[in-house]
Structure 1
Amino acid sequence: MNMKYWISAALIAAALPAGAATVTESGSGEFSSVWTSPTVIAAGTDTVTGSGSGGDVDVIELTGLDSSVTGITIDFSAASYYSSGWYGAGGSVLYSTEPFEWAWDGTSAGGFSIGYLSSIWGTIGSLEDTLTIALSGVTTLYIAIVNTYGSKLDYTLSVNSVESDQQEPLAAVPLSASAGLLLTGMAALAAFGRRRKARLA
Protein backbone atom coordinates (compact mmCIF):
# COMPACT_ATOMS: atom_id res chain seq x y z
CA MET A 1 0.00 0.00 0.00
CA ASN A 2 1.55 3.33 -1.05
CA MET A 3 1.91 6.46 1.03
CA LYS A 4 -1.19 8.30 -0.20
CA TYR A 5 -3.45 5.48 1.00
CA TRP A 6 -1.80 5.49 4.44
CA ILE A 7 -2.29 9.26 4.66
CA SER A 8 -5.92 9.02 3.57
CA ALA A 9 -6.69 6.29 6.13
CA ALA A 10 -5.06 8.30 8.91
CA LEU A 11 -7.04 11.43 8.04
CA ILE A 12 -10.33 9.53 7.97
CA ALA A 13 -9.59 7.92 11.35
CA ALA A 14 -8.82 11.33 12.84
CA ALA A 15 -12.10 12.77 11.60
CA LEU A 16 -14.37 10.02 12.88
CA PRO A 17 -15.78 10.33 16.43
CA ALA A 18 -14.70 7.79 19.02
CA GLY A 19 -17.24 5.00 19.39
CA ALA A 20 -19.19 4.59 22.58
CA ALA A 21 -18.41 1.53 24.67
CA THR A 22 -20.39 -1.31 26.21
CA VAL A 23 -19.48 -2.82 29.59
CA THR A 24 -20.75 -6.33 30.38
CA GLU A 25 -20.83 -7.93 33.79
CA SER A 26 -19.74 -11.26 32.30
CA GLY A 27 -16.78 -9.60 30.57
CA SER A 28 -15.59 -7.40 33.43
CA GLY A 29 -16.43 -9.64 36.40
CA GLU A 30 -19.27 -9.39 38.88
CA PHE A 31 -20.38 -5.86 39.62
CA SER A 32 -20.04 -4.72 43.22
CA SER A 33 -22.81 -5.55 45.67
CA VAL A 34 -21.49 -3.06 48.24
CA TRP A 35 -23.51 0.16 48.29
CA THR A 36 -20.58 2.30 49.45
CA SER A 37 -18.09 0.78 46.99
CA PRO A 38 -19.63 0.70 43.50
CA THR A 39 -18.13 -0.67 40.31
CA VAL A 40 -16.87 2.38 38.40
CA ILE A 41 -17.98 2.51 34.76
CA ALA A 42 -15.58 4.55 32.63
CA ALA A 43 -16.55 7.72 30.80
CA GLY A 44 -17.69 7.10 27.23
CA THR A 45 -19.70 3.99 28.11
CA ASP A 46 -23.24 4.15 26.78
CA THR A 47 -24.42 0.60 27.54
CA VAL A 48 -24.05 -1.59 30.63
CA THR A 49 -25.36 -5.16 30.74
CA GLY A 50 -25.70 -7.51 33.70
CA SER A 51 -27.96 -10.00 35.40
CA GLY A 52 -29.21 -11.01 38.82
CA SER A 53 -31.69 -13.11 40.75
CA GLY A 54 -33.43 -12.74 44.11
CA GLY A 55 -31.02 -11.33 46.70
CA ASP A 56 -28.50 -9.94 44.18
CA VAL A 57 -27.50 -6.25 44.16
CA ASP A 58 -25.46 -4.53 41.43
CA VAL A 59 -24.08 -1.12 42.44
CA ILE A 60 -22.41 0.94 39.72
CA GLU A 61 -21.03 4.45 39.27
CA LEU A 62 -21.48 6.06 35.85
CA THR A 63 -18.77 8.67 35.28
CA GLY A 64 -18.10 11.29 32.62
CA LEU A 65 -21.72 12.12 31.83
CA ASP A 66 -22.25 15.49 30.15
CA SER A 67 -24.95 18.03 29.33
CA SER A 68 -26.19 15.97 26.36
CA VAL A 69 -27.36 13.15 28.66
CA THR A 70 -31.14 13.23 29.12
CA GLY A 71 -31.65 10.06 31.11
CA ILE A 72 -30.98 6.40 31.78
CA THR A 73 -33.17 3.54 30.53
CA ILE A 74 -32.94 0.08 32.10
CA ASP A 75 -34.55 -2.79 30.20
CA PHE A 76 -35.14 -6.06 32.07
CA SER A 77 -35.68 -9.38 30.31
CA ALA A 78 -36.21 -12.98 31.39
CA ALA A 79 -36.40 -14.33 27.83
CA SER A 80 -33.03 -16.12 28.11
CA TYR A 81 -34.10 -18.09 31.18
CA TYR A 82 -37.76 -18.92 30.62
CA SER A 83 -38.68 -22.40 29.38
CA SER A 84 -42.26 -23.15 30.42
CA GLY A 85 -44.88 -22.65 33.11
CA TRP A 86 -44.67 -19.81 35.62
CA TYR A 87 -41.86 -17.25 35.80
CA GLY A 88 -41.60 -14.49 38.39
CA ALA A 89 -38.90 -11.97 39.33
CA GLY A 90 -38.56 -8.35 40.36
CA GLY A 91 -36.92 -5.70 42.46
CA SER A 92 -36.11 -2.01 42.72
CA VAL A 93 -33.70 0.56 41.28
CA LEU A 94 -32.28 3.43 43.33
CA TYR A 95 -30.03 6.25 42.15
CA SER A 96 -28.14 9.26 43.46
CA THR A 97 -25.85 12.01 42.21
CA GLU A 98 -23.83 11.58 45.42
CA PRO A 99 -22.21 8.34 46.66
CA PHE A 100 -24.56 6.01 48.52
CA GLU A 101 -23.96 6.20 52.28
CA TRP A 102 -25.89 3.08 53.26
CA ALA A 103 -28.02 0.28 51.80
CA TRP A 104 -31.24 1.54 50.20
CA ASP A 105 -29.87 5.10 50.14
CA GLY A 106 -30.80 7.39 47.25
CA THR A 107 -33.93 8.09 45.23
CA SER A 108 -36.23 5.33 44.01
CA ALA A 109 -36.55 5.03 40.24
CA GLY A 110 -39.37 2.56 40.81
CA GLY A 111 -39.75 -1.17 40.81
CA PHE A 112 -39.39 -3.74 38.05
CA SER A 113 -41.57 -6.81 37.96
CA ILE A 114 -41.87 -9.73 35.59
CA GLY A 115 -44.65 -12.26 35.89
CA TYR A 116 -45.32 -14.68 33.08
CA LEU A 117 -47.43 -17.80 32.75
CA SER A 118 -47.71 -20.02 29.70
CA SER A 119 -50.25 -22.83 29.68
CA ILE A 120 -52.56 -24.73 27.37
CA TRP A 121 -55.04 -21.87 27.84
CA GLY A 122 -52.60 -19.23 26.57
CA THR A 123 -50.13 -16.79 28.10
CA ILE A 124 -50.45 -14.13 30.78
CA GLY A 125 -47.98 -11.34 31.55
CA SER A 126 -44.69 -10.32 30.00
CA LEU A 127 -41.06 -11.39 30.12
CA GLU A 128 -39.88 -7.76 29.90
CA ASP A 129 -40.04 -4.53 31.91
CA THR A 130 -38.44 -1.08 31.66
CA LEU A 131 -37.51 1.74 34.02
CA THR A 132 -36.36 5.25 33.06
CA ILE A 133 -34.44 7.85 35.08
CA ALA A 134 -34.69 11.43 33.76
CA LEU A 135 -31.49 13.48 34.12
CA SER A 136 -30.27 17.00 33.45
CA GLY A 137 -26.80 18.42 34.03
CA VAL A 138 -25.53 15.30 35.83
CA THR A 139 -21.86 14.31 35.49
CA THR A 140 -21.78 11.27 37.81
CA LEU A 141 -24.62 8.92 38.71
CA TYR A 142 -24.75 6.09 41.26
CA ILE A 143 -27.22 3.30 40.50
CA ALA A 144 -28.22 0.25 42.54
CA ILE A 145 -30.17 -2.52 40.83
CA VAL A 146 -31.70 -4.63 43.61
CA ASN A 147 -33.21 -8.01 42.73
CA THR A 148 -35.48 -8.64 45.71
CA TYR A 149 -37.15 -11.89 44.62
CA GLY A 150 -37.47 -14.52 41.95
CA SER A 151 -35.55 -16.06 39.12
CA LYS A 152 -32.65 -14.69 37.11
CA LEU A 153 -33.08 -11.60 34.93
CA ASP A 154 -30.89 -9.85 32.39
CA TYR A 155 -30.76 -6.08 32.25
CA THR A 156 -29.43 -3.55 29.75
CA LEU A 157 -28.73 -0.03 31.00
CA SER A 158 -28.59 2.59 28.24
CA VAL A 159 -27.38 6.19 28.51
CA ASN A 160 -29.78 8.39 26.55
CA SER A 161 -28.50 11.63 25.04
CA VAL A 162 -29.76 14.47 22.88
CA GLU A 163 -28.02 12.93 19.86
CA SER A 164 -29.39 9.41 20.33
CA ASP A 165 -32.91 10.72 21.06
CA GLN A 166 -33.12 12.83 17.90
CA GLN A 167 -35.56 11.42 15.34
CA GLU A 168 -34.64 13.72 12.44
CA PRO A 169 -31.23 14.97 11.27
CA LEU A 170 -30.42 18.65 11.61
CA ALA A 171 -30.88 20.74 8.46
CA ALA A 172 -27.28 22.01 8.66
CA VAL A 173 -24.46 20.56 10.70
CA PRO A 174 -21.27 22.62 11.16
CA LEU A 175 -18.05 20.81 10.32
CA SER A 176 -15.74 19.94 13.17
CA ALA A 177 -12.04 20.77 13.07
CA SER A 178 -11.19 17.15 12.32
CA ALA A 179 -13.67 17.08 9.41
CA GLY A 180 -11.97 20.17 7.98
CA LEU A 181 -8.64 18.38 8.29
CA LEU A 182 -10.06 15.42 6.40
CA LEU A 183 -11.30 17.62 3.53
CA THR A 184 -7.96 19.43 3.35
CA GLY A 185 -6.10 16.12 3.23
CA MET A 186 -8.36 14.75 0.53
CA ALA A 187 -7.85 17.88 -1.58
CA ALA A 188 -4.07 17.56 -1.15
CA LEU A 189 -4.19 13.92 -2.23
CA ALA A 190 -6.23 14.80 -5.31
CA ALA A 191 -3.74 17.53 -6.27
CA PHE A 192 -0.84 15.10 -5.71
CA GLY A 193 -2.52 12.57 -7.99
CA ARG A 194 -3.05 15.13 -10.76
CA ARG A 195 0.60 16.31 -10.62
CA ARG A 196 1.83 12.72 -10.74
CA LYS A 197 -0.31 11.95 -13.81
CA ALA A 198 0.95 15.13 -15.50
CA ARG A 199 4.58 14.13 -14.89
CA LEU A 200 3.99 10.60 -16.20
CA ALA A 201 2.28 11.99 -19.31
Structure 2
Amino acid sequence: MQKISSQQQVRIIGGLWKRTPLTVVDAPGLRPTPDRVRETVFNWLSFLFQQNWSQVRCLDLYAGSGALGFEAASRGAAQVTSVEAHPPAVAQLEKAKDKLQAQQIQIVRGDAKLIAQKLAAKGEQFDVIFLDPPFHHDILSSILPHCVTLLKPDGLLYLEAEHTLTGDNLPPDLSNWQVIRADRAGKVFFHLLQRNN
Protein backbone atom coordinates (compact mmCIF):
# COMPACT_ATOMS: atom_id res chain seq x y z
CA MET A 1 0.00 0.00 0.00
CA GLN A 2 1.37 3.40 -0.99
CA LYS A 3 1.84 5.87 1.84
CA ILE A 4 0.15 9.21 1.19
CA SER A 5 2.08 12.22 2.45
CA SER A 6 0.21 14.41 4.91
CA GLN A 7 2.44 17.36 4.11
CA GLN A 8 0.86 20.39 2.48
CA GLN A 9 2.42 22.33 -0.34
CA VAL A 10 2.18 25.87 -1.66
CA ARG A 11 3.43 27.01 -5.04
CA ILE A 12 5.50 29.98 -6.07
CA ILE A 13 3.19 32.19 -8.13
CA GLY A 14 5.51 34.08 -10.48
CA GLY A 15 9.02 34.80 -11.65
CA LEU A 16 11.96 32.48 -12.25
CA TRP A 17 10.62 29.62 -10.12
CA LYS A 18 6.95 29.94 -11.06
CA ARG A 19 4.89 26.84 -10.15
CA THR A 20 7.68 25.40 -7.97
CA PRO A 21 6.12 23.65 -4.94
CA LEU A 22 7.27 24.43 -1.40
CA THR A 23 6.57 21.89 1.32
CA VAL A 24 4.76 23.16 4.40
CA VAL A 25 5.82 21.40 7.60
CA ASP A 26 3.36 20.82 10.40
CA ALA A 27 4.19 23.41 13.06
CA PRO A 28 2.15 25.25 15.69
CA GLY A 29 0.82 28.55 14.35
CA LEU A 30 2.26 27.98 10.87
CA ARG A 31 -0.28 29.26 8.38
CA PRO A 32 1.14 29.69 4.87
CA THR A 33 -0.01 32.76 2.98
CA PRO A 34 -2.57 31.47 0.42
CA ASP A 35 -1.73 31.64 -3.29
CA ARG A 36 -4.46 34.19 -4.01
CA VAL A 37 -3.21 36.50 -1.26
CA ARG A 38 0.40 36.25 -2.43
CA GLU A 39 -0.64 36.95 -6.01
CA THR A 40 -2.47 40.10 -4.88
CA VAL A 41 0.36 41.28 -2.62
CA PHE A 42 3.07 40.75 -5.22
CA ASN A 43 0.97 42.55 -7.83
CA TRP A 44 0.84 45.50 -5.40
CA LEU A 45 4.58 45.34 -4.75
CA SER A 46 5.55 44.90 -8.41
CA PHE A 47 3.48 47.96 -9.30
CA LEU A 48 5.13 50.03 -6.55
CA PHE A 49 8.61 48.85 -7.59
CA GLN A 50 7.72 49.47 -11.26
CA GLN A 51 8.40 45.75 -11.92
CA ASN A 52 12.06 46.25 -10.89
CA TRP A 53 13.07 44.00 -7.98
CA SER A 54 16.82 44.06 -8.71
CA GLN A 55 17.72 46.42 -5.83
CA VAL A 56 15.08 45.23 -3.35
CA ARG A 57 16.19 43.82 0.02
CA CYS A 58 13.54 41.83 1.90
CA LEU A 59 13.23 40.60 5.47
CA ASP A 60 10.79 37.72 6.02
CA LEU A 61 10.18 37.42 9.77
CA TYR A 62 8.27 34.28 10.84
CA ALA A 63 9.17 32.75 7.47
CA GLY A 64 7.34 29.43 8.01
CA SER A 65 7.01 27.78 4.60
CA GLY A 66 9.15 30.52 3.06
CA ALA A 67 6.43 31.31 0.51
CA LEU A 68 6.78 35.10 0.81
CA GLY A 69 10.58 35.16 0.76
CA PHE A 70 10.94 32.65 -2.09
CA GLU A 71 8.27 34.54 -4.05
CA ALA A 72 10.28 37.77 -3.70
CA ALA A 73 13.51 36.03 -4.73
CA SER A 74 11.77 34.36 -7.68
CA ARG A 75 10.80 37.81 -8.94
CA GLY A 76 14.39 39.05 -8.73
CA ALA A 77 14.85 40.51 -5.23
CA ALA A 78 18.53 41.24 -4.60
CA GLN A 79 18.50 39.77 -1.10
CA VAL A 80 16.02 37.96 1.13
CA THR A 81 16.66 37.25 4.81
CA SER A 82 14.24 34.59 6.11
CA VAL A 83 13.93 34.17 9.87
CA GLU A 84 12.35 31.06 11.40
CA ALA A 85 12.60 29.45 14.86
CA HIS A 86 11.03 26.01 14.29
CA PRO A 87 13.85 23.53 13.43
CA PRO A 88 11.86 21.33 10.96
CA ALA A 89 10.69 24.47 9.12
CA VAL A 90 14.28 25.78 8.99
CA ALA A 91 15.42 22.43 7.56
CA GLN A 92 12.70 22.61 4.90
CA LEU A 93 13.70 26.19 4.00
CA GLU A 94 17.33 25.10 3.61
CA LYS A 95 16.26 22.18 1.43
CA ALA A 96 14.22 24.48 -0.85
CA LYS A 97 17.07 26.99 -1.03
CA ASP A 98 19.52 24.26 -2.08
CA LYS A 99 17.10 22.82 -4.64
CA LEU A 100 16.58 26.23 -6.26
CA GLN A 101 20.23 27.31 -5.82
CA ALA A 102 18.82 30.50 -4.31
CA GLN A 103 22.03 32.25 -3.30
CA GLN A 104 20.21 35.52 -2.63
CA ILE A 105 18.27 33.93 0.24
CA GLN A 106 19.81 33.84 3.71
CA ILE A 107 18.05 31.60 6.21
CA VAL A 108 18.48 32.53 9.87
CA ARG A 109 17.32 30.20 12.63
CA GLY A 110 16.14 31.92 15.77
CA ASP A 111 13.52 34.02 17.53
CA ALA A 112 12.24 36.76 15.22
CA LYS A 113 12.40 39.48 17.89
CA LEU A 114 16.00 38.66 18.88
CA ILE A 115 17.15 38.40 15.27
CA ALA A 116 15.44 41.72 14.48
CA GLN A 117 17.27 43.34 17.42
CA LYS A 118 20.62 42.00 16.15
CA LEU A 119 19.96 43.17 12.59
CA ALA A 120 18.99 46.64 13.85
CA ALA A 121 22.15 46.81 16.01
CA LYS A 122 24.19 46.13 12.86
CA GLY A 123 22.40 48.97 11.04
CA GLU A 124 20.68 46.68 8.53
CA GLN A 125 17.78 48.17 6.60
CA PHE A 126 15.28 46.65 4.20
CA ASP A 127 12.96 47.80 1.42
CA VAL A 128 10.23 45.33 2.39
CA ILE A 129 9.49 43.51 5.62
CA PHE A 130 7.06 40.59 5.49
CA LEU A 131 5.41 40.18 8.87
CA ASP A 132 3.11 37.18 9.17
CA PRO A 133 3.31 36.08 12.83
CA PRO A 134 1.18 33.38 14.44
CA PHE A 135 -2.26 34.77 15.25
CA HIS A 136 -3.73 35.28 18.75
CA HIS A 137 -0.35 35.65 20.51
CA ASP A 138 -0.15 39.47 20.71
CA ILE A 139 3.18 39.42 18.87
CA LEU A 140 2.74 42.68 16.95
CA SER A 141 3.29 44.96 19.94
CA SER A 142 6.72 43.46 20.63
CA ILE A 143 7.99 43.10 17.04
CA LEU A 144 6.69 46.29 15.38
CA PRO A 145 9.18 48.70 17.04
CA HIS A 146 12.04 46.65 15.55
CA CYS A 147 10.38 46.61 12.12
CA VAL A 148 10.13 50.41 12.19
CA THR A 149 13.91 50.59 12.83
CA LEU A 150 14.77 48.00 10.18
CA LEU A 151 12.70 49.50 7.38
CA LYS A 152 14.14 52.14 5.04
CA PRO A 153 12.34 55.52 5.25
CA ASP A 154 10.34 54.76 2.09
CA GLY A 155 10.14 51.03 2.81
CA LEU A 156 7.02 48.88 2.81
CA LEU A 157 5.66 46.73 5.62
CA TYR A 158 3.48 43.77 4.65
CA LEU A 159 1.38 42.65 7.59
CA GLU A 160 -1.08 39.79 8.05
CA ALA A 161 -3.43 39.87 11.03
CA GLU A 162 -6.58 38.27 12.38
CA HIS A 163 -8.37 41.64 12.20
CA THR A 164 -8.25 44.75 10.03
CA LEU A 165 -5.60 47.37 10.85
CA THR A 166 -7.16 50.37 9.16
CA GLY A 167 -8.29 53.67 10.66
CA ASP A 168 -8.43 53.76 14.45
CA ASN A 169 -7.46 50.10 14.65
CA LEU A 170 -3.74 50.67 13.91
CA PRO A 171 -1.30 49.61 16.65
CA PRO A 172 0.34 52.61 18.43
CA ASP A 173 3.70 51.89 16.76
CA LEU A 174 2.06 52.45 13.37
CA SER A 175 0.24 55.67 14.24
CA ASN A 176 2.47 57.62 11.84
CA TRP A 177 1.90 55.11 9.04
CA GLN A 178 -0.69 54.79 6.35
CA VAL A 179 -2.28 51.64 4.99
CA ILE A 180 -1.74 52.01 1.25
CA ARG A 181 -3.36 48.69 0.31
CA ALA A 182 -5.52 46.27 2.27
CA ASP A 183 -7.73 43.28 1.55
CA ARG A 184 -9.19 40.20 3.17
CA ALA A 185 -9.19 36.49 2.34
CA GLY A 186 -11.40 34.45 4.64
CA LYS A 187 -10.23 35.10 8.20
CA VAL A 188 -6.94 36.68 7.11
CA PHE A 189 -6.61 40.46 6.79
CA PHE A 190 -3.56 41.58 4.83
CA HIS A 191 -2.10 45.06 4.57
CA LEU A 192 0.67 47.03 2.93
CA LEU A 193 1.83 50.00 5.00
CA GLN A 194 4.24 52.89 4.51
CA ARG A 195 5.42 55.74 6.72
CA ASN A 196 3.79 59.14 6.33
CA ASN A 197 6.45 61.50 4.95
TM-score, length of structure 2 as denominator length: 0.29
Higher Rg of the two aligned structures: 1
Higher RCO (Cα < 8 Å, 6 or more apart): 1
